[in-house]
Amino acid sequence: MKRRIFALVDCNNFFVSCERVFRPDLQQRPVVVLSNNDGCVVSRSNEAKALDIPMGAPWFMYKDLFARQGVEVFSGNFGLYREFSRRVQQIIRDSSNDFEAYSIDESFVEMSSYGITDYKQWGLDLRAKILAWTGIPVSVGIAPTKTLAKIGAWHAKKDPRSGGVFDLSSVVEGTPEWRKVLEKVPVGDVWGVGWRMNKKLLAQRIETAYALVTQPDLWQKRTFNIIGRRTIRELHGEPSFMLAEDVRGYQKSVSVTRSFAHAIEKLDDLEAAVSTFATQGTKQLREKGEVAGGILVFVRGQGGYTTGTPAYKASVSLSLGRFTDDTLIVVSQAISGLRGLYKAHTGYKRAGVILYNLVPKAAEQVFLSDTLDVVHFLEGRDALMAGIDELADRYGRNTVQMGSEMLSGEWHSAKNHMSPYTMLDWGHIPVVKV
């Protein structure tokens, strides 16, 4: 059996890097990006990390420090980041058919079947191409397992001598080099070790990946579930996690949720928000080539410390009738579900839409009872959705909107530090004078 080799391509400080593409003057300055509603820090430049600004730092607690230290602050421009992610992933996908988009800023590639003899050079070439074509710096880890590839990417970020690529493909378990690589990695940075498990391990003085992997088998069985034990096997160089597309081919759900800048009470405001979420969710489905069988709509009211009363929470799950990626159908169902949840005189602070029971578009059902007219109608709706997506990609997301999206703008999250940049305006492209 041929030895598997995986690569992890990890965008460095991704949200910050996206903002810096349009603001090259910020290359050596501390920069942070805030979450929805300007709540907390979700991305930091290395300069911001050097100021001991933690991930998740609340904006209201750190804003004075940001001002004193000259930290540049951006509200999350997540539409921009998704577009950068799509472009980076397309470059990676073009380099390998065996590809998994693990998250918005991380992608796995399996390289075993491509006859590559110099994995390091492959990584350096890919990294240079991504940087030249998108402006996004990445780190590449290469190893016999996905977990070790993550560790390789960790070293690629930490070690300037690596050139952004760390190759573990030839490192053998039990050798001094293998031990040296694992000893440098904090156990909390091992893929799959959450903060609770990290706390438990540190209490037992298990502080590094090497200390974890050399614990007795009986201790491992008592401490970890099957997924955790697979992680340890991967640290030994035994592949236990394949590419997600090997296993399922599609993700389990698409979720679009937001917190509001202030509590809203009117049904029109909520309908505008939920319609927008449903529209964004169905576009994501079409981008991934998937269709959904069900939709969940939820709302969260104001409560707790603000009102002294429990927060109103409600949700409803609805079947979409047939698997679909049709925005008109999904928005209609979302609004129908929302109206059943709505309570007057309640201040709402959050809402969301989750599309679930996903299957590939190619597996979309056509019922035996469907007439030719129904089939033609569905084909026409596919063409309509494709046209809407093309207009959105060319001229901006809000070029074509559902009427219910335009009922109100009161629900929008606070974005007081939002960059104006998009990928659709030539005027936003940086100009270099030489």
Q: Is residue 380 part of a domain?
A: yes
What is the model's pTM? Answer: 0.72
Q: Is residue 47 part of a domain?
A: no
With beta carbons less than 8 A apart as the criterion, state whether 92 and 136 touch.
no
What was the pLDDT predicted at 248? 40
What was the pLDDT predicted at 249? 41
Number of domains in the chain: 1
Nearest Cα to Cα of residue 25 among 70, 90, 88: 70
Q: Is residue 48 part of a domain?
A: no
What Å distances lie between residue 114 and 31, 119, 227, CA to CA?
39, 11, 29
φ, ψ (nearest 5 deg) of residue 293: -100, -15
Beta bridge partners of 10: 106, 139
Q: Is residue 371 part of a domain?
A: yes
Give 214: exposed, middle or buried? Use CB within 10 Å, 0-12, 13-18, 19+.
Answer: middle
Q: Is residue 373 part of a domain?
A: yes
Q: Is residue 338 part of a domain?
A: yes
What was the pLDDT predicted at 32? 95
What Å distances lie between residue 381 and 34, 198, 320, 355, 377, CA to CA?
37, 50, 15, 19, 6
With beta carbons less than 8 A apart as the criterion, state whether 328 and 244 touch.
no
Q: How far apart are CA 252 and CA 260, in angstroms?
A: 26
CATH (domain of 343):
3.30.1490.100
Q: Is residue 378 part of a domain?
A: yes
Q: Is residue 100 part of a domain?
A: no
Give every residue of the chain whose pLDDT is below 50, as ranges: 245-250, 367-368
What was the pLDDT predicted at 84? 92
Tokens describing residue 34: 């805030």
What was the pLDDT predicted at 100? 86
For residue 377, the enclosing domain spans 253-407
